[in-house]
Amino acid sequence: MPFSIKKIIPHGLVMLGFVVLALAYFSPVLQGKALFQSDIMQYIGMSKQQKDFKAQTGEETYWTNAAFGGMPTYQLGAKYPHNYIKKLDLTLRFLPRPADYLFLYFLGFYILLLVLKVDFKLAAIGALAFGFSTYLIIILGVGHNSKAHAIAYMPLVLSGIILTFQKKYFLGFLLTAVAMGLEIVANHFQMTYYLMFLVIILGIAYLIDAFKKQVLAHYFKSVALLAGAVLLAVALNATNILATQEYVKESTRGNTELTMNPDGSKKEVTSGLDQDYITEYSYGFWESFNLFIPRFMGGGNSEDVGKDSETYKAYRTLGATPSQAAQESQRAPMYWGDQPIVEAPAYVGAVVIFLFVFALFLVKGRLKWWLVGGTLFAWILSLGKNWFFVSDPNPDSNPITNFFISSMPLYNKFRAVTSIQVILELCIPALAIFGLVKLFSNKINSDQKWHALKLTTLITGGLALIFLLFKGAFFDFSGGNDALYRQSYGQAFVDALKADRKSLFTQDTLRSLALVLIAAGLVYGYLKQKLKGHWAMVGFAVLILFDLVGVDKRYVNNDDFVSAVQVNKPFQANEADKQIMQDTGYYRVYDLTTNSTKPSYFHNSLNGYHAAKLRRYNDLFNWYISKNNLNVLNMLNTKYIIAPNEEGGVFTFTNEEANGSAWFIERLKEVKSENEAIKALDSLDNKHVAVINHKDIKTYFKSEATGSFSVDSTASIQIKKHDPNYLKYTTTNDQDGFVVFSEVYYSHGWKAYLDGKQVPHVRVNYTLRGMYVPAGRHEIVFKFDPEIVKTGSNIALASSILLGLLLIGGLAYALKKRL
């Protein structure tokens, strides 16, 4: 079939429209401004050292000393050799951030609907419904870029899978391999893991259909091809996957060897995160209605209720000035659901919900049950510790959640089970668009459409009406922190909050009811032939945009943009930072005045912000550092401590007792367990004694367990060079000795050299490095040179070549067929 430019033009115009809409929503990027994202600010602080090192040397470091005493950069934006799939990703994200992610939302969903054989006009409407879903916009507002990135590629992965099942084997294989490669590039394995569940549900739907149609051979051929595509995608990302897999075992997501807590109580030993941590963010049953009514549960923890609100009046009554009351009313605690913190509701749109319900009565077959199954599956798991109508503080009260945490591989590696709602936020608009497909289809008779319209209007409109009429009977609008507000401001203030919550509930319920009736009116007008099909499409496009963008702008708008300089350089050094930076030596800083990554931006810091810290350092922090245990701070070479002063400022405490970068010890204290090792640190004379596990001492000293060393006044060790991935020391000692280094022990990449010859080193003091040093003068070097990066890069190169050959072969075959 000859190539036709006319077939391409409509899609090109749609793509142009997506670009315009993405830039229009985030229009300040056209003025050189950037979206201030709290999580990205934290990332900038964490990653500054590695970026500065790359700018100065041209070399990528896979270790940073700027956070948590030292950690790999694998989850801090590390750049790997031969990562060509990442280059493709950067090409697709050609728009300024965050407009690039919004464009990807549109693009991926549009392609999915086209693959499902939806008309391009309806596919474009579906892309808008998906892309402007409030949760997808909110995560951009707070800086969950990698999550948004992974979600954006989900529809593209599904497109490749569906093409393969449609017997377009080669195209399906290639699209799946590339899309899955891009999905993994996004580096949010929790989202990719949740996508796996939706793919499994899709696979079950196709398996049942194949069994009924007796085409199981085609089904298993498709599965085999898809498995190959996924393997190729994994190979394209081999370096990141292998490095992450290696790191996660040593992180807070891996197993712990401790069986006790700092207070002496028994610690639950798990292979992943604690259940109460996993389910801390769980949807309440009633909160799920914010998919349909945005501020059903008050919206977010910080809502602008305005000067006409009861909250404003309550602040004035408490003595606040008009400006103070107005300022506080812009961040009123309106959210009254079960979660600790909510930025905004996960609203998918009243119009989209209306069309979703409408589709339930008209759409048949595997597509419907896949999308409905995915929706119900995600919703049930998002309840977490809650159980339908019951909101329970007990983290193990939901048997379904319990089963997945205890029995489903990897499920207990991820927190915030509410995040799985991204699956229903994909399924609901997809099925909703098929409601429109069936509305405009001549294959369904008019009676069925009228019946579906009546039932849909009754269900959605009736539900909104019931909430309006009986809200006082169903809900008391009390929030989880109201007791605290009552104690601080009195009952009248809490009553004002509840009145405003009730008012927001009423406003948004009326809004959703109105949108439902307008949507029903569009369907009515079309069925009555008073409205042409194309005008009905325009009507739904405008209505969906009005609905979703109107709510999105409450939470992410032009006011959130600041100068690009402020985003790229989010931290300013205070007097304490400036004073410390005058010291050009090698040391660490502990800042007691902030929970941000500001200390990491300027110093080698004990602070940091990351969801997967090194587990042993995290243990050390929980046991001692957070309690300002000076003994432990000393062994980490904490020379400076920034603390608040009585005047509300900060002061710098210079810790003259810090052990320095490395020191000779007199004795190794052998312990039989990691519990003993970490407990011993409290009172350990760590300038002269180091703790070592009996298993490590026997492995390290292969001939015999040596525990005592002579250290005379001439023994010394000095650091001569300190880069993130390279440390050089010189030592002098008349006797054989043992040196403790104030560096985090991480065996997967750190290599020790004594006078140029690689030698082993060992973990001591639960977290640090130690090394036997023979008598005399020596040079000791530590290099972070992870083999996993070399291995992964070679695999990535080979797989990229294979993919390139397949693409070239496929194009050559296609051209040959056309000639």
**DSSP-derived secondary structure for 607-660:** ----SS-BHHHHHHHHHTGGGT-HHHHHHTTEEEEEEE-TTSSEEEEE-TT---
Assess whether the previous peptide bond of 393 is cis (omega < 30° from 0): no
The packing angle between helices 350-362 and 366-382, to 10°, is: 130
Q: Measured in whole angstroms, how far is the alpha carbon of residue 804 from the centre of its chain?
A: 31
Q: Which among 149, 156, 162, 28 has a CA at the least distance from the CA of 96?
A: 28
Identify the three-state secondary structure at position 727: strand
pLDDT of residue 819: 64
What whole-number distance in Å separates Cα of residue 46 and Cα of residue 709? 39
pLDDT of residue 390: 56
pLDDT of residue 284: 85
Identify the three-state secondary structure at position 34: strand
The packing angle between helices 99-115 and 134-142, to 10°, is: 150
User: What one-character DSSP code corresponds to residue 419?
Assistant: G
Residue 186 structure tokens: 């996004």
pLDDT of residue 696: 87
What whole-number distance in Å separates Cα of residue 282 and Cα of residue 293? 19
Phi first, then psi: give them for residue 778, nearest 5 degrees. -145, 160
pLDDT of residue 702: 66
Distant-in-sequence, close-in-space partners of 375: CB < 8 Å, separation ≥ 6: 423, 424, 427, 428, 431
Q: Give the CA distances from residue 611 to residues 281, 342, 617, in Å, rounded to whole numbers and listed in that order.
A: 15, 18, 13
Residues of the chain with pLDDT under 50: 1, 704-705
Q: Are 560 and 141 in contact (CB under 8 A)?
A: yes
Residue 379 structure tokens: 């919703």
User: What one-character DSSP code corresponds to residue 309?
Assistant: S
What whole-number distance in Å separates Cα of residue 537 and Cα of residue 424? 24
pLDDT of residue 704: 47
Q: Give the CA distances from residue 797 to residues 77, 81, 246, 248, 741, in Å, rounded to whole numbers and listed in that order.
A: 19, 8, 20, 24, 37
CA atoms within 13 A on the CB side of 761: 30
Q: Which among 691, 687, 665, 668 has a CA at the least distance from the CA of 678?
A: 691
Longest dimension (CA), the chain: 100
Q: Are 19 and 102 in contact (CB under 8 A)?
A: no
What whole-number distance in Å separates Cα of residue 579 and Cα of residue 96? 37
Q: Measured in whole angstroms, how far is the alpha carbon of residue 411 from the centre of its chain?
A: 15
